[in-house]
Structure 1
Amino acid sequence: MNILYLNHYAGSPLHGMEYRPYYLAREWVQAGHRVRMVAADHSHVRAKQPERPGTDPWHETIDGIAYHWYPTPPYAGNGLGRVRNIWAFLRQVWSDAPRIASQFQPDVVIASSTYPMDIWVAERIAKLTRKTGKPCKLVFEVHDLWPLSPIELGGMSPRHPFIMLCQAAENHAYKHADVVISMLPKVADHMQSHGLDLRKLHIVPNGITLEEWQGTAPPLRSDIASHIATQKAAGRTVVGYAGSHGTPNALDVMLQAAELLRNEPFSFVLVGDGHEKAALQRQAQALGLEQVAFFDPIPKAQIPSFLAEVDIAYIGWQRVPIYRFGIAPNKLMDYMMARCVVLHSVEAGNDPVAEAGCGLTVPPADPPAIAAGLRQLVTLDAATRQRMGEAGRQFVLANHTYPVLARRFLESCTPAA
């Protein structure tokens, strides 16, 4: 099968996020399929941008996946620069659609760029392919609900021109795609209200790649390992967090909970970076939280080593309505694969921690509830902690590994008859 995967922000192990397109495509290549990844050469989520050899589109092969990069202008933030970047990418792929359809002859075209406007480009390629007499499925993959996410999380007006364009694209996708795949589990009512025939809808959540959890992980960076060892030697329970330090992660609430636990034997270790990190460090200093330590990010390969050292893994969310459609956090999958006991501060349409039985869920934006949850978890005996940790790992292995997810994805996208 020839699979054309349009994802503006597609990454790889060479470039960093986003990883999902790479891991799915790698599984498909290993299963004997031919995959072409179509992506922009500049993305705000990548750690490293592809090296542009000139001013024209170019391609390279990464682990059997044919990446086709389109040159786009760099940008920062969510302003006009990002809009120009999106437009440059879509315009070029639109122009290339006849060549892609005739030369690659896709069986499946996937529109998967977070923003929904790529559906029009993907549909053009699918229609041109069908004109050659070859069946071709059009698939719309939903990461987050746009434009609802920038409206509810970013405060944008529904009448903003960009939002109105996104809304038109979302509605068009639900009406014209042959298959809609969502990472979020509770989207049926929303999508149906925007024109989706629910027979088209399939849920394929985020996942993990197994090789990152096989063999011996690289040792944890010495500064973090030394700090945790000191805390444990002092008889403190280590509460760990690994990931982005951004507004959605609600780490300010975690710090308020740490203040409530100031005189109790807890130590908080936060590893990562993000636009809110400096503000969080100032908050911890202002509150005099000597039991809270911040560390620079570690390589992804060291995450298992870090999580193996913590006693409780923390993940929190803001209290916002958008989470009623569900959540699909990668870091939670890491916590569960590491057999961590998890404190989950959330109110959402789904709760993997509760489903797996691998920890405790408390309300979001509620420092006393977080503090009480940590006190409750620290009282668990060793056998209970071990049972919870193993339940979390088995839940991920059964439902969230990329071999399972890639197979589920393609089962929903078999070529049109």
Structure 2
Amino acid sequence: MRILYLNHYAGSPKHGMEYRPYYLSREWLKSGDKVNILAASFSHLRQNNPRDLPGLFGEEEIDGIIYSWYATPKYAGNGIKRVLNIFAYLFQVWNMSRFFVNKWTPDVVIASSTYPLDIYPARFIAKHAKARLIFEVHDLWPLTPVEVGGMSPRHPWIWLLQKAENFAYKVSDAVVSMLPCAKEHMVAHGMAPEKFHYVPNGIVVSEWENATATLPDEHAALIERLKSEGRFLVGYAGGHGLANALQELLKAADWLRDAPVSFVLVGDGPDKMALEQMARDLGLDHVHFLPAVSKAAVPALLSRMDALFIGWRKLPIYRFGINPNKLFDYMMSARPVIHSVDAGNDSVREADAGLSVAAEDPAAIAEAVRQLMAMTPEDRQRLGENGKRYVLENHDYRVLAKRFQKLFKANAAK
């Protein structure tokens, strides 16, 4: 199979997030498939964006995967510059569409750029190449900008995105959703029910089995000191932004200032300075902030914690489900998870991998910490092992890639 994968924000181990297109493609290559990923040269998600393109287009091969990079302007935030970045990418993919029809001739075309506008060039290529068209949904746009970003449903940008989403559900041969509870919404917008397929995010087992990276000295020294003092360590690793509900974790820490527990928050993000100031204002000496660690060092970090925290804001959009990579990393570490969430699904509860409490409820978070501290190490280990087993069974990219491939083979049977 020749697979053309349109993903504006696609990354790689060389560039950083997002990793899903790379990991799926790498598995497909093992089956003899060929993959060409079409991506923008600039993404706010990547740590390293491609540089020095020879004009408006550049191509490189990464672990057997062809990456076609399209020159796009830089942006910050969600303003007009990001919109210009999107249209620069789409315009150039349109310009190259006949090349892919006539020269590359894919068997499968995947439209997967979060925003649904890439369905138009993807449909053109798939139709003229007689390829199967798959629409891959990360987030529900334009519903997310409306419900989370506060944009008016009557805004021209939202109207344009809505037309594209409806068109995608109508013309795609299959719809792959990373959100487990989104089927009803998609059907309401024109998708035939049988098109729906749930393929969540995942983990690469070998990255955990072969993990040898050690922690930076600063991190190792703090953890060692806290352990020697007999502290119960609650860890968080990831972005420090509004969506992560870390303010609620600090409020919970305020409830636990007299308990032998310490909170270790590792990462960076737009709200980190405000969170550090909040901890100082509350006098939370048992809350510690550390810089982000490399992806390779995440297993070493998480395994040193006694429990791990992940939180969410109380937002209606989560009724369609959540699918965070960070949670799967947590569960792979075999540590119990405190999950503060109100959503359509809850992997921690399903797996019996920790304690789930309501979103934005510091008292409930504090009580969950107390409950885990009161458990025996064996009981906490049982919860952790439940989570690891659940991820291996349901979120191994080797399993997910094969599930995706079944949709490719459906085309061959036509």
- Shorter-normalised TM-score: what interval? over 0.9
Amino acid at match of 1:63: D
Partner amino acid, structure 2, of 1:43: S
Partner of 2:116, secondary structure, is: coil
Inter-partner Cα distance in structure 2 for 1:37 and 1:87:
18
1: CA distance, partners of 2:127 / 2:307 = 51
SS, match of residue 219 in structure 1:
coil
Equivalents in 2 of 1:329, 1:53: separation in Å? 32
Shift of 1:117: 0.4
2:6 alignment partner in structure 1: 6
Task: Name the structure 2 match of 1:115.
Answer: 115
Counterpart of 1:321 in structure 2 is 316
Tell me, yes or no, if the aligned pair for 1:41 and 1:52 is still in contact at 8 Å. no
Q: Determine helix, strand or coil for the equivalent of 1:189.
A: helix
Amino acid corresponding to residue 201 of structure 2 in structure 1? N
Q: Which runs of 4+ in 1 moved over 3 A?
A: none
Q: Which residue, out of 278, 282, 288, partners 2:283?
A: 288
Q: Does 1:146 align with 2:141?
A: yes
Question: Which residue of the partner structure matches residue 369 of structure 2?
Answer: 374
TM-score norm. by structure 2 comes to 0.98
SS in 2 for 1:365: coil
Letter in 2 for 1:7: N
**210-219 vs 112-121, which moves further:** 210-219
- Is 1:253 paired with 2:253? no
**Alpha-carbon distance between aligned partners in 1 of 2:211 and 2:180, rounded to the nearest angstrom:** 34
2:301 aligned with 1:306, yes or no?
yes
What is the CA–CA distance in structure 2 between the aligned matches of 1:360 and 1:390, rounded to whole Å? 14
Answering whether residue 63 of structure 2 is matched by residue 68 of structure 1, we say: no
Correspondence list, 1:32-181, <5 A: 32-130=32-130, 136-181=131-176
The answer to whether the Cα contact below 8 Å between 1:202 and 1:412 also exists between their aligned partners in 2 is: no
Q: Distance in 1 between matches of 2:108 and 2:59?
A: 20
Deviations 1:36-88 (A, max 9, x none): 00011011110001122322311110000010111111111110000001001
Is the 2:53–2:71 Cα contact (8 Å) retained in structure 1?
no
Segments of structure 1 that go 5 or more residues without pairing to the other structure are 131-135
Is this contact kept in 2: 1:325–1:349, CA < 8 A?
Answer: yes
Any conservation in 1 of the 2:211–2:299 contact (CA below 8 Å)? no
Match of 1:335 in 2: 330
Within 2, Cα distance between the matches of 1:5 and 1:53? 20
Q: 2:262: which partner in 1?
A: 267
1:133 alignment partner in structure 2: none
Aligned to 1:30: 30
- Between the two proteins, what is the percent identity of the paired residues? 54
Q: Is the 8 A contact 1:179 1:413 kept in 2?
A: no
TM superposition score normalised by structure 1: 0.97
After TM superposition, give the deviation of residue 215 of structure 1 in Å: 2.8
- CA offset at residue 238 of structure 1? 0.4
Q: Secondary structure at the match of 1:294?
A: strand
- State the partner residue of 2:214: 219
Verify the 8 A CA contact 1:126 1:138 in the aligned structure 2. yes
Structure 2 stretches of 5 or more lacking a match? none
Task: Return the alpha-carbon distance in structure 2 between the equivalents of residues 89 and 202 of structure 1.
Answer: 27
Deviation digits for residues 373-405 of structure 1 (CA, Å, limit 9, x no counterpart): 110111111221121111111111111011100
Check conservation: 1:353, 1:392, Cα contact below 8 A. Answer: yes
Deviations 1:309-337 (A, max 9, x none): 10010000000001110010101100111
The one-letter code matched in structure 2 to 1:374 is V
Deviations 1:127-162 (A, max 9, x none): 1212xxxxx111000000001111111111111111
Displacement of 1:224 after TM fit? 1.2
**CA RMSD, 1 decimal:** 0.9
Aligned 1:380-399 pairs, distance under 5 A: 380-399=375-394
Cα shift at 1:216: 4.3
